[in-house]
Structure 1
């Protein structure tokens, strides 16, 4: 048995995987965000651990015999977050998260301090990344910066609780702007640009390699045997790719979670920062990937549901699959509720409903939100194509994959076939469990298979043509509002 732990933004998920590759059970515990000032997004790492223990308790209760047979643990987690520890490994401040936009000025400073940043890290300096966060802390919280001895990414702080070891992996570390992504090693040059050294960093192992063993006291408390291996683990998107078997060049998926990600596997390092495309290490050796990221995706729909006081299923039930009239009359929605990364790199981009009229219905606005997210993904695909990447089919994972309406809308907007797999909602947790399996000696060909396809959504040429002028309006609206 193998345990996957996925530290998301809104939930910690735990998944139990058997030796045949079947999911035995899942459990989760919710998390909340703190935004003490505009553009800030923080969480307390102790809440991550409490949620992890709660999810594991639920999984143990539901599957006691299977859980007791766990021999490998894998980790997946939200990327870019900065957990700052002192010399005693005490937390110095709340973790600054991936969707925090406070350090836009520090991004400019980092680009100036590290002229080779784009070549080495393969990415633009964006507020979500880890390195600019440390420049912000140095400037605005100098006493904390002076006391700080270690910087850990979120999942790697969980590992510290599990094993007592400070370790990261190249897929997650690639999102810090401190990694030489081609070499899969820390860059002394980029660390120096933020007044840091390798001494502040965890050691690196590949995502599928062992990083340590579970602490004896935890193994005893959880009813596990000795020498439970903890894998290197991966950033959430690379782990999701492992979960749906995206291991070969050209394999790709869309993750429709809090953020929206379009991920395509590459056989070599292929940076293209000019288009705000991310070039990161994959969770397997000798694999990299390109990725476009929109900061608000399924979270836009959750926001709208809260705004109108309705459950997601109730709003989706108001939509019909072939209602072209709704498409024609719906307002335009810009999904930039937390700014945007690809392709705009604009932390100040606003969320917008444009074109509201007296006859606009709730269903029209629901459609507009789903369409706006689909158009944001279309912008991401255009950026990847500009970087030389082509795809014919994309898997859909994350909570948004539950909606067949949304899946078809994305297929029509992107003009790409979308497939949904069994267990696609598990995402990073399944990938994490598979990495735990690999770290105990499992073979990639055996472990990283593609789950069964439960639905296919082929693009409709007529719908694609109908959406084209709306996509053009969507892009024009942002260009007119930028900087306003």
Structure 2
């Protein structure tokens, strides 16, 4: 007996099969690229998702597919798929990196229970009502990506609180805000009723089963957003459990038994289980480091070696009470694509300050690693200021495997880091939701399903690094007006 988890991501679709003990047995992934027909747009033909799913399933062993008893779904959050009554998309899906609705955010004046971004379903649908009236007339349903996929598989027309609460059209619990929808002239009838993320919400159709090489009638769980699925798959099950993921962007998620208080710069959303979570979302992690690596013409192995040899030189020189290495004088702001937590400034930009003729490429690369670590620390500081003390983080994501980078993160964040032995947390979390819908597990069993985590780094109390972090914050506060923002007073 096994369970299938499908993660409909921004750049790829992953399908993973886990056994009755929660162990991953096989995984298959298919990549795709977003379409940008106009500047600031981010779209995708939903048929691309379906083809990716068919191809991913073909990459899983036949005998494992034969044992699947239930399917759970994870999906990229915030965007929207518009369909007719039969579930056929009436236009390409609009996705979270889309910024076409940036000028329409006035409908969500501060303070809001959650920060509102232009790529969320609310602003995007407001744009549709204003600019694509024919599309609006053809629309019967406005679905989240994973809900579109479940319906296509034969499932029910429902959504879950973890996705609904992140649309900017519902309250923090995920209940649709009828008054707001009326004010925006967005039809309330477009939005599916709510169901638990781990509820049984339909069964796999014969047509879909044949295309995917599965048995018809398999239970379909409602599913959840990719962040709560990753938290579930990564082993977060109790109040205060915390996870750091580093990929293109970075996220720090802290589970909570009850609804957290609102705090500027943070999100507070429903989890895939009956919990809530605080989230700090930082946009510039892997994307900033990759761009700097390319600018400096490094291969990754050379980037790590040169950056951290600069660090070693810096530490040695200070220990000898001599003139600090020049690398310690450089600060890098990593905000190449704006920033969410804690600044909420889509116009923020990045760069180096403090460069001199003495500096090397290695010093610049080192400053970039530090700048990204400091950006994550600013997000974690917001979480701590909101009332969630965090002394340890589970660590996941492909951008966090180098031991030297992990140590820098532990020092900059002032936390212990425990690497989770679960490379595919989101599809694993989706598979667990499928097993819950099937009745194989109960929510009380989730703590026992947490994957093993190994302590990989701890803070060393680096005073020089702490001083550089203070300089990083001061620098951002000084230059923020250049970008069109307002000077920073504090994290609130």
TM-score, normalising length from structure 2?
0.88
The Cα of 1:482 is off from its aligned counterpart by: 2.2
Aligned alpha-carbon RMSD (Å)? 2.3
Matches within 5 A, 1:285-300: 285=274, 287-300=275-288
Kindly tell me: are residues 223 and 57 of structure 1, through their superposed partners in 2, closer, same or farther at Cα, counting changes over 3 Å? closer
Is 1:279 the counterpart of 2:268 in the alignment? yes
TM-score, normalising length from structure 1?
0.90
Is 1:473 the counterpart of 2:461 in the alignment? no
Is 1:167 the counterpart of 2:158 in the alignment? yes
The Cα of 1:145 is off from its aligned counterpart by: 3.0
Name the CA distance, whole Å, in 1 between partners of 2:367 and 2:52.
Answer: 34
Matches within 5 A, 1:34-183: 34-59=35-60, 63-111=61-109, 118=112, 122-182=113-173
Name the CA distance, whole Å, in 1 between partners of 2:9 and 2:290.
Answer: 16
Deviations 1:9-37 (A, max 9, x none): 22211111011211111111112133344
Is 1:185 the counterpart of 2:175 in the alignment? yes
Give the total of aligned pairs: 468
Q: Greater shift after overlay, 436-445 or 74-83?
A: 436-445
Name the CA distance, whole Å, in 1 between partners of 2:34 and 2:268.
Answer: 27
2:203–2:219: 8 Å Cα contact kept in structure 1? yes
Deviations 1:150-191 (A, max 9, x none): 211122222122125322111111110122223x42221232
Name the CA distance, whole Å, in 1 between partners of 2:402 and 2:150.
Answer: 34
- 1:315 is matched with 303
2:73–2:224: 8 Å Cα contact kept in structure 1? yes
Deviations 1:65-84 (A, max 9, x none): 11211111111111101222
1:332–1:355: 8 Å Cα contact kept in structure 2? yes
Kindly tell me: are residues 197 and 457 of structure 1, through their superposed partners in 2, closer, same or farther at Cα, counting changes over 3 Å? same
Kindly tell me: are residues 131 and 320 of structure 1, through their superposed partners in 2, closer, same or farther at Cα, counting changes over 3 Å? same
User: If you compute each CA radius of gyration, which structure gives the higher value, 1 or 2?
Assistant: 2
1:99–1:295: 8 Å Cα contact kept in structure 2? no
SS in 1 for 2:459: coil
Kindly tell me: are residues 50 and 302 of structure 1, through their superposed partners in 2, closer, same or farther at Cα, counting changes over 3 Å? farther
The Cα of 1:87 is off from its aligned counterpart by: 4.0
Matches within 5 A, 1:203-282: 203-273=193-263, 275-282=264-271
- 2:367 is matched with 368
The Cα of 1:91 is off from its aligned counterpart by: 2.5
Kindly tell me: are residues 370 and 50 of structure 1, through their superposed partners in 2, closer, same or farther at Cα, counting changes over 3 Å? farther
Gaps of 5+ in 1: none
Gaps of 5+ in 2: 315-324, 483-492
Kindly tell me: are residues 4 and 158 of structure 1, through their superposed partners in 2, closer, same or farther at Cα, counting changes over 3 Å? same
1:330–1:365: 8 Å Cα contact kept in structure 2? no
The Cα of 1:311 is off from its aligned counterpart by: 4.4
Q: Greater shift after overlay, 37-46 or 263-272?
A: 37-46
Kindly tell me: are residues 167 and 330 of structure 1, through their superposed partners in 2, closer, same or farther at Cα, counting changes over 3 Å? farther
The Cα of 1:362 is off from its aligned counterpart by: 3.2
Is 1:9 the counterpart of 2:10 in the alignment? yes
Deviations 1:378-437 (A, max 9, x none): 1111111221111121111121232222222111111011110112x3121111111111
Name the CA distance, whole Å, in 1 between partners of 2:17 and 2:424.
Answer: 11
The Cα of 1:293 is off from its aligned counterpart by: 0.6
The Cα of 1:447 is off from its aligned counterpart by: 4.3
1:330–1:364: 8 Å Cα contact kept in structure 2? no
2:182–2:188: 8 Å Cα contact kept in structure 1? no
